[in-house]
Amino acid sequence: DFEKVIKVNLIGSFNMLRLVTNGMTKLEPQATGERGVVINTASVAAYDGQIGQSAYSASKGGIVGMTLPIARELAQFGIRVLTIAPGLFLTPLLANLPQEAQDSLAAAIPFPRRLGQADEFAALALH
């Protein structure tokens, strides 16, 4: 259902950001003036949605769209906001698909021709 996906993915992300940055603004800034970083997760579907993904693509596109204005707004408090838009990752949901389906999804990825791994996403976020 379109509304549910928007509420969970977009409004949920906004509420998380709103609540965590409220706390961050009260932190003592580091020597650089920074108080923290918020990393949102969108999806390549925000830019290249597929058939049947209108709600998902819209929700992830909303995350992409709100990132820059919120980053500009929170910069005065020393808070950085960014969004990572990953492609296909081997999640518990995808792991439940038959291997043939997983292989088909991986074949559509230009390079490397495989699903991403959670530790790769974590390494990017920590970088």
Active site residue: 13, 35, 36, 56, which one?
Answer: 56
Whether 56 is catalytic: yes
> What are all long-range contacts of 40-48, with beta carbons under 8 Å and residues at least 24 apart?
40/13, 40/67, 40/81, 40/82, 40/83, 40/84, 41/13, 41/83, 41/84, 41/85, 41/86, 42/83, 42/84, 42/85, 43/85, 43/86, 43/87, 44/85, 44/86, 44/87, 46/85, 47/85
The residues annotated as belonging to the active site are 56
